[in-house]
Structure 1
């Protein structure tokens, strides 16, 4: 119930922010006042406001949402030697990367997993699963932490949010242009004015089609940034340890039902996907990541 409420509140926030922004920009409609067609400038502004509003709001609330959804326990004061080592290691790696130390947390999952999130490189969160801390060797945990800090230092969360905003803008803009053109062609013979029902149907279908294509572009960028984070992990920690951590993950993926498809952080869910599935995966296959590190 809480998740549904948060989803609805997020969407309401997008609508409110976008509406206020459009009002301040003086954009009331993207149809020409004379009724002669689309006002492409107004449509572009409309598309950009709604396209970026969702991605940026999601970025700004990403850290509290991650804490809540993964039930992350933030380590403010270490209660044992392991937590002390975790804080010290993150501090060392973040200093080496030239960023402010992120918040550090542990979440109660038995799968080996980790993630980093936050709206900027100096206000981030790095969290690791209980399972990873239990089964990985210290040097492998350090490599995983270096990978996640690499994401933060590279500004990957901001970069992907901006890319998402751009593709959202394209989807909204292109779908409405296609919808208007198709609707105009369908109504050309009867000379009726205004928009027909076909406009809304075509816009709906076009947004789905363009949205799928746009998702493939965003996922390509995400996979590219994973290679960059692996390189950062190898530089901040140790290349052999980074490779060993990926190989250990691979061995866990090979155990049936060990790693569920819902995990998409360091414990990627795309280890063996091929074809179209691989196009929509946020992470490259583990074998490809290992080979990339071995070649450097």
Structure 2
């Protein structure tokens, strides 16, 4: 519950920032208009954000015939977690990574890169898929869509204020106006990153319970981070706004910038997973539920 309370507070902060910029542009009327625009943008994002993310990432849908082992694995994990089976996608890139998207568990998808399927063991892949299923079950995918929409809208309004001047008679005068135009987008980005970080820890915990072994996920995180530092993901570099969706930040630009990272420190995530070993999962998944990877290439998976 603490994680959800923190998320609610951060969302309230984003709303206040958005309405504050609206007031800067048009006073109380501007604040109301900003709120209406935010609602419209979030409605559009609610219905279409998942399709947009899958398109931008270059993901292709697979099924039981084109990628039987991967699809079977995801279905087994979803069934074991008592949740609807999501659609399964594969992204053609050598960087190991994965993400989930969708407005609710009934309309969701998980995507894995071919690099993930080639470079990780079947247990580690199962743990990564369980982590993404946890995001879906916790409805993090919707939360992240809404926060991304708010952050983008705040930046848009700040640009409007920069070009059209805003209300210069507001308290603080011109300097206050300039400060708000510059600082509001930065604050929105920090709030978005804070929400992302808080949800990653919870998804790690629930994902470890779904797959039944926290150390599978700990090992996967360590490997993915190591590979991500040296292998580009072109789709994410072209569309950095979707970086927060992946299990590990796919971008190189923020690899050493803790303040502006969309993900918590990997070592801290691993430590939290190791602490779970003291209290094993109540419902471990059977080894037979994780399909064999077969040859060490993308063939049996994708």
Equivalent pair of 2:97/2:250 in contact (CA under 8 Å): no
Cα–Cα, structure 1 residues 168 and 246, in superposed 2: closer, same or farther, change >3 Å? Answer: closer
**What's the offset of the Cα at 1:221?**
0.9
Residues 227 and 259 (structure 1), Cα distance of their counterparts in 2 relative to 1, 3 Å cut: farther
Over 3 Å counting, the alpha-carbon distance change for 1:92 and 1:77 in structure 2 is: closer
Instruction: State how far apart, in whole Å, the 1-side matches of 2:41 and 2:181 are.
Output: 15
- Determine the C-alpha separation between the residues in 2 that align with 1:247 and 1:185: 48
Contact in 2 for aligned 1:48/1:166 (Cα 8 Å): no
Matched, 1:213 2:187: yes
In the superposition, relative to structure 1, how do residues 230 and 88 fare at CA in structure 2: closer, same or farther (>3 Å)?
same
1:24-103 equivalences under 5 Å are 40=28, 42-79=29-66, 83-103=67-87
Distance 2:43 2:268 in 1: 31
Larger radius of gyration: 1
Q: Which runs of 5+ in 1 are unaligned?
A: 1-29, 32-37, 187-197
Q: List alignment gaps of at least 5 residues for structure 2.
A: 1-21, 277-302
- Deviation sequence 1:204-240 (CA, Å, 0-9, x none): 7633321111210110110111111111110000212
Q: CA deviation at 1:155?
A: 0.4
Q: Aligned ranges for residues 63-212 of structure 1 at < 5 Å?
A: 63-79=50-66, 83-164=67-148, 179-180=166-167, 182=169, 206-212=180-186
Residues 242-251 or 135-144, more deviating: 242-251
What is the alpha-carbon root mean square deviation over aligned residues? 3.4
TM-score, normalization by structure 2: 0.67
Q: Give 1:249's match in structure 2, choosing from 216, 224, 229.
A: 224
Query: Match of 1:61, SS?
Result: helix
Alignment match, 1:267: 248
- For residues 156-175 of structure 1, give each alpha carbon's deviation from its aligned partner in whole angstroms, at most 9, with x where no partner exists: 122233445666788869x9
Contact 1:51 1:168 in 2 (8 A): no
Count of residue correspondences = 239
Sort the Cα spacing of 1:75 and 1:51 in 2 relative to 1 into closer, same or farther, 3 A.
Answer: same
Alpha-carbon distance between aligned partners in 2 of 1:90 and 1:215, rounded to the nearest angstrom:
32
Distance in 2 separating the partners of 1:184 and 1:227: 40
